[in-house]
Structure 1
Amino acid sequence: MKQSGTSIRLTGAVQDLATEVVSALRGGDHLRLAESLSVRDETGPPGDLALAAVRVLGPDVLLPAVLRIVPPDPDDLAVVRKAVDAFPPSADASPTSRWSHWAMRHTLLRLDPPLDDARTDGTEPGAGWLDGVPWQFLTHQLAVLAPLALPADDSALTRAARHRPVDVARGFVRAVRRRDWLQAAGAGRWLTLLDGVPDTLGLEGGLEFVAQMGGDDPRVALQVQAAQLLRAGAAR
């Protein structure tokens, strides 16, 4: 099935944005989210498609600031806040959508505490939908929510992952064998934070292999770069 024009443009905007984040994570430049979005209104501020790209990439758009590689820019925080408000989860939204939305607000609260107002009570979604699920499904869901894999956070999702390190490792291997580089990169990011990961997995070499094979996709490069920074203890 062919993608619509809007879908193609959104995919391109997400990839461009991920490229900017990777560059900032690698120390190339300060991320200027408000300036670097490829899709803008004629008047200058990011338009709906650009805000949608921010929402798709999720809290990782602010990862360089979270990892203290670059300071948060007030204009960038304003863009993320606008994207959060523009795309709230619907009443029938999936758990991953709810968690991603919560994570964006949580990240804004970390970097810009005045956000803590009447718009949100800060309550995180539940993680019960992961109780007892097969390891394949667990890995897929965690990979989709890889931006929540941060050492300073102790959410219900993080605790669910900590209880099943061997299953996440199995999912990582399966993703590599299936050449699903984005899922492998996301699972690998989680594994950098988990105790009890089998030494035989060879996570460091596995991440390097995923970067080599899937690094042309900036979303894969972002997750691998994040995983390698977390593994090296870059987050303080």
Structure 2
Amino acid sequence: MEQSGTSSLLQGAVQELASGVVSALRSGDHARAAAPAVADVEAEGLTLAAVRVLGADALLPGTLLHATPLPGELAVFRKAVEAYPPGPGAAPAVVWSHWAMRRTLRRLDPGHADGPDGEPDAAWLEGATWQVLTHQLAVLAALALPGEDCAVARAAGQRPVDVARGFVRAVRRRDWRQAAGAGRWLTLLEGVPQTLGLENGLDFVELMGGQDPLVALQVGAARMARAGAFV
């Protein structure tokens, strides 16, 4: 029961943090995405865990809007990176998510970040079915950034048709989070079939799942990429 309550609290914290990111993206005010101030150790732990779940997207406004986050926001993000390193045998997606956070920290707070890290192994994506590929890319949607290059992005770029198939499948299954994450990748890929109707697809995903801030975040990032608002 206690574990279930903790899980609910974390889910609520993640939703609140994602809502702040969405507000910041829509308003252009990166400061509104800052993690809330914490009053005690327990609250701080919950906040750090929420930042770790959201990953590099916790600082997405700073990345897309080319604005330096507030010092307190960077401090919370940095603590989350330090508090939750991937353990031995961690899943590839967990390793990549942590790598993305470290890369974001180096970009936005170079004075308090370690030196560059080599990319993790992305071999697990080679030969993955289109269903598995789409699922993994949706989990790692924080890596879908305009002009950014990494092994995961290259793997996605080699299979735009498969990602499009995964997007359609997610929509049909009403898996709005996966559809939004796949759609965010598709906005950056060349060779996406015109018949997909991605713009209308994103409209539909936003309509059906946009009350979920995690969906709204991914759709918002996709729209900014399509509009070139990050330049």
TM-score (norm 2): 0.94
Which residue pairs with 1:58 in the alignment? Answer: 55
Q: How far apart in 2 are the matches of 1:173 and 1:27?
A: 30
Q: CA 1:32/1:23 → structure 2, altered by over 3 Å: closer, same or farther?
A: closer
Give 1:171's match in structure 2, choosing from 166, 171, 177: 166
In the alignment, the residues of structure 2 paired with residue 32 and residue 23 of structure 1 have an alpha-carbon distance, to the nearest angstrom, of: 7
RMSD, matched Cα: 2.0
Q: Is the 2:33–2:61 contact (alpha carbons within 8 Å) kept by the matching residues of 1? A: no
* Aligned equivalent of 1:75: 72
- For residues 75-118 of structure 1, the C-alpha deviation after alignment (integer angstroms, 9 at most, x for no partner) is 2111100000001100111000000000000001111222343x
5+ residue gaps in structure 2?
Answer: none
CA distance in 2, matches of 1:164, 1:149: 14
Mapped pair 1:197 → 2:192? yes
Deviation at 1:35, TM superposition (A): 5.3
> Which residue number in structure 2 is paired with residue 27 of structure 1?
27
Picking from 104, 122, 126, the partner of 1:131 is 126
Q: 1:35 to 1:81 in 2, by over 3 A?
A: closer
SS across alignment from 1:193: coil
Deviates more, 1:194-203 or 1:62-71: 62-71
3-state SS of 2:31 partner:
coil
User: Shift of the alpha carbon at 1:30?
Assistant: 3.7
Q: What is the CA–CA distance in structure 2 between the aligned matches of 1:193 and 1:85, rounded to whole Å?
A: 30
Q: Distance in 2 between matches of 1:223 and 1:77?
A: 21
Deviation at 1:71, TM superposition (A): 3.3
AA aligned to 2:122 is: A
Q: Which amino acid aligns with 1:114?
A: G
For the structure 1 residues 34 and 210, does the alpha-carbon distance in structure 2 shift closer, same or farther, using more than 3 Å as the test? closer
**Secondary structure of 2:121 counterpart:** coil
Cα shift at 1:136: 0.3
**Corresponding residue for 1:11?**
11
How far, CA to CA, are the matches of 1:140 and 1:91 in structure 2? 23
Deviations 1:188-219 (A, max 9, x none): 00000000000000101100100000011100
Aligned residues: 231
Distance 1:112 1:160, change over 3 A: same
Runs of 4+ deviating beyond 3 Å: 32-35
Gap change, CA 1:102 and 1:114, over 3 Å in 2: same
The one-letter code matched in structure 2 to 1:184 is: A
Residue 142 (structure 1) shift: 0.1
Corresponding residue for residue 103 of structure 1 = 100
Residue segments in structure 1 that go unaligned for 5+ positions in a row: none
**Aligned counterpart in structure 1 of residue 136 of structure 2, from 136, 141, 151:** 141
**Contact 1:10–1:53, Cα closer than 8 Å, also in 2:** yes
Say whether the 8 Å CA contact 1:24–1:69 is kept in structure 2. no
Distance 1:167 1:3, change over 3 A: farther
SS at match of 1:47: helix
Give distance in 2, aligned partners of 1:174 and 1:18: 25
| Matched-pair contact (CA < 8 Å) for 1:142–1:187 | yes
Partner amino acid for 1:123?
Answer: G
Identity of paired residues, percent? 65
- Answer 1 or 2: which has greater helix percent: 2
